Amino acid sequence: MNAETAGLVLNLECTLPAPPEGIFRMLTEPSELVKWWGPHGFTIPSAELNLAEGGRYRFRMAPPEGEPFHLSGEFLEIDPPFRLVYTFRWEEPTPDDRDTVVDLSLQTADDGTRLALSQGPFLTEERLELHRGGWTDSLEKLQALAGGRG
């Protein structure tokens, strides 16, 4: 990795209206993931995962129009309900894609759970911004879903 791309890391934070245990389930159970993962308008027709360090996952994402595609990776660290770290790779990547690492940290907050997300490093600013948009939409959907559990 060169110094130019070393800094291309996405960092986002949000507060979710549910306890860490509930949020962790929503992050790791396929039946919950398919309800919120992906940008607005996208669906997840299938989500397979083996929630174990070294275990793998694979999601099929379908855009509102166009062909479905896949993303996959491997779990690097699992510390329920406070931390989840995994690799993220697009299958059939574009030339500007590279494997990144997603680090999700959950902390108890007065009004639920504070989730901090870090992903990177990205090869280009364009790829970082693509993921920023996807994660922002996804976290909005997760926040709405978590709020409906109240």
With respect to residue 2, please indicate whether it lies within any of the assigned structural domains.
Answer: no
CATH number of the domain within which 75 lies: 3.30.530.20
For residue 25, give its domain range: 8-147
What pLDDT score does 61 carry? 96
At what angle are helices 20-28 and 125-147 packed, to 10 degrees? 120
Domain count, the chain: 1
With respect to residue 103, please indicate whether it lies within any of the assigned structural domains.
Answer: yes
With respect to residue 1, please indicate whether it lies within any of the assigned structural domains.
Answer: no
CA 12 to chain centroid, in Å, comes to: 11
Tell me if the bond preceding 63 is cis, omega within 30° of 0. Answer: no
With respect to residue 15, please indicate whether it lies within any of the assigned structural domains.
Answer: yes
What pLDDT score does 142 carry? 97
Q: Which amino acid is present at 24? A: F
pLDDT along the chain (150 residues), means of 10: 66 97 97 97 97 98 95 98 98 91 97 97 96 98 86
Q: What pTM was computed for the model?
A: 0.93
With respect to residue 45, please indicate whether it lies within any of the assigned structural domains.
Answer: yes
With respect to residue 68, please indicate whether it lies within any of the assigned structural domains.
Answer: yes
With respect to residue 3, please indicate whether it lies within any of the assigned structural domains.
Answer: no
Is residue 95 a contact partner of residue 107, using CB atoms and an 8 Å limit?
no
